[in-house]
Structures are given as C-alpha cells and as structure tokens.
C-alpha cells in the first residue's frame, strides 16, 4: 500500500506487486570444436601448365568464378572448372576480341599459338595419330561384331554391282559401234562415250530427265578433272585437253543416241520429231483399236504394244495407254455363258441394295 500527497490531499493507491523470475544458466559454456582449427583447402588453381600434354576430360584449372575462361577445345563445368575437350597441349593466352578476359585453351600441336587467326578455318583433330602405330592400326581395323558379320555379304554385293556395271559398259560399247556416226571413234573414245552413257543411265534411273542427266554427266566430269589438278594428279594442260575431248564426244553421242522409257539405247530424236511421232502413234492406235469394248486379237495386241513402247512415250504414258486401249477385261453385251473359259465372274457390292452381286466380264486378247 502506497500513499501520495497531491495538493494537500492524501491519496492512497494500491498496487499489486509483480513477481520477477530470472533464468540462470544450468550448463557450462564450452568453446567451439573448431576453435583454433581451419577447414581443409579446396585445392583451387592450375592443374596443368603451359605446353602440358593432356587427354580428353582432364582438369586444367579449378576456380570459384570465371577468373579464366574456356578457350579452344576447353569446356567449363557448373563449378567453373575448366577441362579439356580434345587431346593436345595446354595454352594460356589472351584474345584481342575479348581484351578483358583470360583464356585457357588446348592446341592440337605443341608449336601452335592461340588464339588461332580469326576468320580462318579452325584446326580440327581429324585423323591425328594419338596411339602407337601398332595400336592405331588395330583401332582403325576394328569393326563391331554386327558389322564384321555383315562384311562378307556387303563385299559380295559390291562385287556383283561392279560386275553388272562392267557388263552394262561392254553392252553400251557394242551398241554404240552399230551406229554409223560413231563408227569412226577410236576404242579409247568409244569407251569414254560408253562411260558417259553409264552415268546418264544412272541419273535417269534416279528420276532425272534426259536433259538434266546429260548436263550432270558433263558437269561432274569437268569437276572431277579440276579436283585432280588441285590434288596434283594432273597438269592443267592435260586437264583442259581431257575436258575438251570429253565435250566433243558428248556432243556427238547426244546427237546420235538417246534412252527410251525402258532405258534402251535408240536413235536420238529432237523435240519436234518426238511430238510428231507421238501424234502419229496415237492415230495408229485409234485405227488399230477403234472399239475398246470389243476383244482384241493377239496380233493386234502385239502390234499395239510395239506402238505404245516407242520412245515418244514415257513410262507413265505407256501405262495409261495400255489401260486405255488394252483393257484386260471388257463388259459382256447380251447373254452370258458362265461356263465359257473366257468369261470371268467378279463379285461386286451393289450400293443401292446393299448386297453382293456377280458381274461377268470377258477376257480380252482372245
């Protein structure tokens, strides 16, 4: 109970005392276990020095942050560790295109200087011998088991393919000798002409037109000859002479022979001659088979195939003409004799009645 005097009046105010609790330490304070000790170092810094030979994947530099940047043939990890991407020799260098950065690279040869000249082809490790001669040859001759098992079959097919090419080449030479305009060619020039036809035959079978096939055969012969000059296998004068000779032979051959739709050698025809032959052939077919719903005799059938097989028609046109003029089955007009050996029964679906009905057709080419 406390009493106060305010302006001569005695004031008494009661106040409840509060209980104060203090917590004292119950355990003795002990110093840290690492007191007066230090954690082990992270072993940062250079692991390979200038001109050190390294293999793929070896660490070059450990760092925190990119103090050194990855250069040629060097990669960087998520902890900024630099490592070699190719076997070679370590180079520490500066790049004038990045003056504020220091780089570590791997050169392919000890005497190389980094950076390589800008705007020039960058050296690559292609065919660099990294193993002793015995091990390198063993590695070069190594084949997976699957490939090793297939190798005899592949080699056999390659031999068969080469034999077919040689057979076709000799066939072309024999056929070229039959044309009057090519009889004056020497045996060597005749072989050049046959090789040209072999190239054209390959392009035609690949889907190119006759005009494009002839152009490609001439272009790639000249291109291969120029490459031989660059490799030092031919002199420039010899190459020019070979190209001129080939172009003269090509011009003579193209004026004399051509391929038809079935890749057979025939007499060359101009575009006007082809159009004229096409119109004449269609007129002959209309005259030979005026009614396509009547049977065709075997003689007319054979003659129609000869007309359709002329070089003025492509394979697609020949197929369409055969379907148009030489139908294998024709409809029967009048009574039907199912026992006739020339009659064919064809089950068809009637859309209106939703039932299967039998339609009788007569075989053509009786």
- 16-20, 150-154, 335-339: range with highest mean pLDDT: 150-154
> What are the domain boundaries of the chain?
45-107, 150-267, 271-326, 332-365
Q: What is the pLDDT of residues 146-199, one digit of tens each?
A: 989 999 999 999 999 999 999 999 999 999 988 888 888 888 999 999 999 999
- For residues 170 and 19, which has the higher predicted lDDT (pLDDT)? 170
**45-107 CATH:** 2.40.50.100
Contact 183, 177 (CB under 8 A): yes
Q: Answer whether residue 232 shows pLDDT above 50.
A: yes
Residue with tokens 């994947």: 57
Rounded average pLDDT over 49-53:
93
Rounded average pLDDT over 63-83:
95
pLDDT confidence of residue 126 = 64
pLDDT confidence of residue 142 = 79
pLDDT confidence of residue 2 = 47
pLDDT confidence of residue 16 = 46
Q: What is the pLDDT of residues 122-146, one digit of tens each?
A: 887 665 555 566 666 777 777 889 9
Alpha-carbon distance 88 to 41, whole Å? 29
Alpha-carbon distance 181 to 91, whole Å? 69
Q: In this structure, how many other beta carbons lie within 10 angstroms of the beta carbon of residue 270?
A: 9
Using alpha carbons, list the distances in angstroms from residue 193 to 135, 175, 196, 204, 259: 47, 11, 5, 16, 14
């Amino acid at each position: 109970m406390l009493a106060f005097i305010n302006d001569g009046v005695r004031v008494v105010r009661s106040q409840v005392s509060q209980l104060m609790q203090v917590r004292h330490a119950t355990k003795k304070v002990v110093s840290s276990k690492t007191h007066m000790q230090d954690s082990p170092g992270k072993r940062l810094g250079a692991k390979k020095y200038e001109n050190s030979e390294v293999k793929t994947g070896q660490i070059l530099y450990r760092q925190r942050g990119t103090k050194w940047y990855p250069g040629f043939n060097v990669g960087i990890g998520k902890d900024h560790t630099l490592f070699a991407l190719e076997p070679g020799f370590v180079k520490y260098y500066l790049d004038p295109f990045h003056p504020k950065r220091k780089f570590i690279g791997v050169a392919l040869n000890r005497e190389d200087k980094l950076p390589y000249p800008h705007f020039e082809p960058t050296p690559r490790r292609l065919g660099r011998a990294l193993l002793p001669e015995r091990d390198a040859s063993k590695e070069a001759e190594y084949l997976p088991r699957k490939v090793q098992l297939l190798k005899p079959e592949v080699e056999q097919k390659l031999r068969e393919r080469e034999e077919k090419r040689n057979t076709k080449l000799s066939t072309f030479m024999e056929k070229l000798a039959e044309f009057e305009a090519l009889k004056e060619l020497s045996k060597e020039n005749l072989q050049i002409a046959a090789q040209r036809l072999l190239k054209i035959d390959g392009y035609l079978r690949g889907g190119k037109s006759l005009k494009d096939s002839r152009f490609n055969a001439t272009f790639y012969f000249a291109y291969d000859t120029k490459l031989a000059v660059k490799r030092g296998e031919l002199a420039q004068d010899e190459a020019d002479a070979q190209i001129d000779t080939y172009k003269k032979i090509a011009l003579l051959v193209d004026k004399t022979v051509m391929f038809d739709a079935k890749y057979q050698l025939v007499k060359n025809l101009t575009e006007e001659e082809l159009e004229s032959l096409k119109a004449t052939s269609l007129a002959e077919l209309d005259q030979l088979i005026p009614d396509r719903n009547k049977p065709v005799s075997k003689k007319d059938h054979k003659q129609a195939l000869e007309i359709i097989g002329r070089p003025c028609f492509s394979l697609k046109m020949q197929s369409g003409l055969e379907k148009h003029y030489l139908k294998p089955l024709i409809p029967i007009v009048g009574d039907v004799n199912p026992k006739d050996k020339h009659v064919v029964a064809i089950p068809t679906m009637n859309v209106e009645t939703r039932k299967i009905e039998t339609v009788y057709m007569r075989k053509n080419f009786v």
